[in-house]
Structure 1
Amino acid sequence: MTMRVDAKVVMLGKESVGKTSLVERCVHHRFLVGPYQNTIGAAFVAKPIQVGDKVVTLGIWDTAGSERYEAMSRIYYRGARAAIVCYDLTDTSSFQRARFWVKELQNCDEHCKIYLCGTKIDLIESDRGLRQVDYHDVQDFADEIGAKHFETSSKTGNNVDELFQKVAEDYNSISFQFLTEETGIDLGQKKDSYFYSCCHS
């Protein structure tokens, strides 16, 4: 029998960078054409991901990107174990906004693991002149803050599964190490149990 771990994941970034599209591609394996209705507050969806013999259920909070919902977004990322901070590869200002969210996370929750996610790489592949955010600049920033860095396309699915799989794998290794150290549980003898890492502050 597989064991189940639940991880709270929050999507952050400027409006229209493609956070909702990423979640749609990850959970429903589809890309919806046409303008999205802007997220108000946050939308929640659960995504189970197989990691070895376990299933990690990611509880994904897709937050509103509009600055007027900024205070509300803080409510949703409290206690998150992972944050996917998104920016649009064709929009320099969206990367500046991503830096803002990284700083917010570092100030509020030092245990939250950060993943930088460049979106809309399909647009770059069809016209390299559209790229406004340099890959190496972001990678340098990611190295500086200890984050993982992905460039994705929700339209083609490029790197989307890899991103969420990495989040699940990282959480799985951290949470089980945490449970063993903090409570002394022998995981080998508890294969029928369901473990829930406490994510509430």
Structure 2
Amino acid sequence: MQNQILSPVLILSAGHTMSSQRVDAKVVLLGKEHVGKTSLVERYVHKRFQIGPYQNTIGAAFVAKPIQVGEKVLTLGIWDTAGAERYEAMSRIYYRGACAAIVCYDLTDSGSFSRLKFWVKELQNCEQQCKIYLCGTKSDLVEANRSFRQVDYHDAQDYAEEVEAELFETSSKTGRNIDELFQKVAEDFYNSTAFQVMTEERELDQHQRKGCCHH
């Protein structure tokens, strides 16, 4: 397997087990192939943009990224999944247990927005606790030429409200709204009941371990 995400932490492919590194929030990227999921992660993690096509992701690529939220630093475990339909069953493995899903579509491809609705329904049926973020990619193209836009912003916003999702229009080339997207994901998780429960469990575990050491 060849992936283009070169993580400073680790990369995983299908079938590999995760390291013991602590991840606070599991985030999965879903969407049709060629919508720019890998470019999105590259821009967020490494602040760079590759001109020309990436090799298709096979299975999923993983990267862990620390992010500051208030006085705490959380670690997002980000899964960039393959977009090809033949990998759909595999993608279900990666979004299982995710606290957040960034479902991507290409602003210049109306078919990618139709495909986005498939993934949203999948999440609603299988991962009801997963918060959904809709991400329109390649906004730099529609800003350069309005005729390239095939997904109307207001239509996307109406759908986002319908499924109780957040909507962002982003550009991996310029960096537009990408930091804001992941910051929102982290802040929402930080303010969630799941984070409070996880924090309490860790504090209890640390307390119990200290107790063992004293005996």
| TM-score, normalised by the number of residues in structure 1 | 0.87
Tell me if the contact between 1:84 and 1:116 (Cα under 8 Å) persists in the aligned partners.
yes
Q: Is 1:117 aligned to 2:135, yes or no?
A: yes
Unaligned runs of 5+ in 2: 1-21, 207-215
3-state SS of the aligned residue for 2:98?
A: coil
Task: Give the one of 184, 197, 207 matched to 1:166.
Answer: 184
Distance 2:87 2:184 in 1: 28
> How many aligned residue pairs are there?
182
In the TM superposition, residue 177 of structure 1 has moved relative to its aligned partner by 3.7
Tell me if the contact between 1:5 and 1:55 (Cα under 8 Å) persists in the aligned partners.
no
Greater C-alpha Rg: 2
Q: In the alignment, what sits opposite 1:61?
A: 79
Tell me if the contact between 1:7 and 1:59 (Cα under 8 Å) persists in the aligned partners.
yes
Q: Is 1:98 aligned to 2:116, yes or no?
A: yes
Q: Is 1:85 aligned to 2:103, yes or no?
A: yes
In the TM superposition, residue 35 of structure 1 has moved relative to its aligned partner by 1.2
Distance 2:65 2:49 in 1: 17
Distance 1:172 1:5 in 2: 13
Calculate the aligned-residue CA RMSD, in Å: 1.6
Tell me if the contact between 1:5 and 1:172 (Cα under 8 Å) persists in the aligned partners.
no
In the TM superposition, residue 5 of structure 1 has moved relative to its aligned partner by 6.4
Task: Give the one of 159, 172, 186 matched to 1:154.
Answer: 172
- The structure, 1 or 2, with the larger RCO (C-alpha pairs under 8 Å, 6+ apart) is 1
Q: In the alignment, what sits opposite 2:213?
A: none
Q: In the alignment, what sits opposite 2:153?
A: 135
Distance 2:34 2:23 in 1: 31
2:178 partner letter: V
Q: In the alignment, what sits opposite 1:198?
A: none
Unaligned runs of 5+ in 1: 194-201
Task: Give the one of 191, 195, 209 matched to 1:176.
Answer: 195
3-state SS of the aligned residue for 1:37?
A: coil
Q: Percent identity?
A: 75
Q: Is 1:31 aligned to 2:49, yes or no?
A: yes
When residues 42 and 5 of structure 1 are mapped into structure 2, their CA distance, relative to the original with a 3 A threshold, is closer
Tell me if the contact between 2:39 and 2:172 (Cα under 8 Å) persists in the aligned partners.
yes
Distance 2:117 2:152 in 1: 14
Q: Is 1:46 aligned to 2:64, yes or no?
A: yes
Distance 1:139 1:24 in 2: 26
In the TM superposition, residue 34 of structure 1 has moved relative to its aligned partner by 1.3
Tell me if the contact between 2:35 and 2:105 (Cα under 8 Å) persists in the aligned partners.
yes
Q: In the alignment, what sits opposite 2:6?
A: none
Tell me if the contact between 1:81 and 1:171 (Cα under 8 Å) persists in the aligned partners.
yes
Distance 1:105 1:75 in 2: 12
CA offset digits 1:8-56 (Å, max 9, x no partner): 0000000000000000000000001111000000000011100010011
